Amino acid sequence: MKNRGFNKIKSILVCMLCMLMWSGCNASPGGEHINTTADERKIVVGFSQVGAESDWRNANTESMKNALSSANGYALIYEDGQQKQANQIRAIRTFIQQEVDYIVLAPVTENGWDTVLQEAKDAGIPVIIVDRMVNVSDDALFTCRVGSDFELEAKKVAEWLNCYMELQGISPKEVHIVNIQGTLGATSQIGRTKGLEDAAKAYDWDLLAEVPGDYTQAKSREVMEGLLKQFANINVVYCENDNEAFGAIEAIEAAGKTVGSDIKNGEIMVVSFDGVNEKAVQYVTEGKITCIAECNPLHGPRVQALIEALEAGETPEKFSYVDEQFFSAYRDISELKVDGTVYPVTFPQTEEGTECIPEETE
């Protein structure tokens, strides 16, 4: 770890110099505003976020900003990576130049972080990975990671589909699935795709195609339009997040088809991940989305707790995973057994206008 006492003295000196020179010292090298006078006793955190591709991401950004707020004793430097790793690497290098106390990284994809994380380590700045993971040669390049078990989420969806097909007497060969994937190379995409592929193999489902939808509604709609033209027998659409589900539903309805779980009578079933956005949960109650494995975005308080532990000289767990629910309106499946653990199915009662963002939990 770097010498924070020295840095504080240095920042006070820099601040005095800047005050003498003029108030133009308020812009940091990255263009973000840091008020050194007000923030000199605050914990400075540089947060490199993926972007704003989904409702999940926006809820995640809000949670981080709320937790690492000035009122909580933080000076947060927020950088939107706009889905590009190069932007995120540039942001981290700027945070290093700014001598922040902590770097929080929500990486867009897993690979390619070794060099810049080594630079942060050499500068003595602890790095907390949030949401997706980094694939690095040495885990000592980051301090800890908090996020979801994406493969477990996928296993829940696959198990739900398996139970449903069995209860409906639908043979595996009659299950014709397309997968609209997330951002290729992101941990959430890798885990969710793997969970589906493993299940398709194990249960002998017909996995027709897997196409990236980049976690966005617009791309997913475009992808689904193409898939409907290519395959006449699609009856399950596995969307790797809710925004993709919205896009797929738009395309299915525009093609004059009906979304729903009655696939024996020609409906196309849409299953998804996240459960953050009110509309998605409403769609579950209406049967437009048949089930959703929750992906909890509220990592702000968790990151705050990790920083507090580090500030207290403690060594937090290297990896922490969040508990997540599973939503469906189909009441004949009330629990799912995955890898020997039983998970309850939540039947959402959401009325229009009701918030369904998960509780803040540690």
In the list 48, 49, 54, 88, the residue contacting ligand AHR (rule: CB under 6 A) is 54
Does position 57 bind ligand AHR by CB under 6 A? yes
Report the C-alpha gap between 249 and 252 in whole angstroms. Answer: 5
Query: Considering the complex, what minimum distance in angstroms separates the CB of residue 273 from ligand AHR?
Result: 5
> CB-wise, 263 or 280, nearer to ligand AHR?
280
In the list 142, 215, 283, 327, the residue contacting ligand AHR (rule: CB under 6 A) is 215
- The label of the residue with tokens 């024996």 reads 264
Nearest-5° angle of CA 321, CA 302, CA 280?
70
Does position 153 bind ligand AHR by CB under 6 A? no
Does position 272 bind ligand AHR by CB under 6 A? no
By CB under 6 A, which span of 50-58, 61-69, 74-82, 155-163 interacts with ligand AHR?
A: 50-58
By CB under 6 A, which span of 53-61, 63-71, 117-125, 231-239 interacts with ligand AHR?
A: 53-61
Residue 88, Ramachandran bin (φ over 0: left; ψ between -120 and 50: alpha; else beta) = alpha
Does position 326 bind ligand AHR by CB under 6 A? no
Two tokens, residue 210: 């897997």
Site string for ligand AHR, 180-199 (x = CB under 6 A): ------x-x-----------
Does position 56 bind ligand AHR by CB under 6 A? yes
The candidate with the shortest Cα–Cα distance to 60, out of 360, 310, 279, is 360
Q: Do residues 156 and 343 touch, judged by C-beta distance below 8 A?
A: yes
Does position 63 bind ligand AHR by CB under 6 A? no
Task: Count CB-CB contacts under 10 A for residue 152.
Answer: 17
**Exposure string for 199-238, b = 16+ CB within 10 A, e = fewer:** bbeeeebbbbebbbbbbbbebbbebbbebbeeeeebbbbb
DSSP-H helix ranges across 129-231: 150-168, 187-203, 217-230
Does position 277 bind ligand AHR by CB under 6 A? no
In the list 53, 99, 210, 324, the residue contacting ligand AHR (rule: CB under 6 A) is 53
Report the C-alpha gap between 128 and 159 in whole angstroms. Answer: 32
Report the C-alpha gap between 124 and 117 in whole angstroms. Answer: 10
In the list 101, 210, 274, 324, the residue contacting ligand AHR (rule: CB under 6 A) is 274
Site string for ligand AHR, 4-23 (x = CB under 6 A): --------------------
Does position 241 bind ligand AHR by CB under 6 A? yes
Chain positions contacting ligand AHR, by CB under 6 A: 53-54, 56-57, 131-132, 186, 188, 215, 241, 273-274, 295
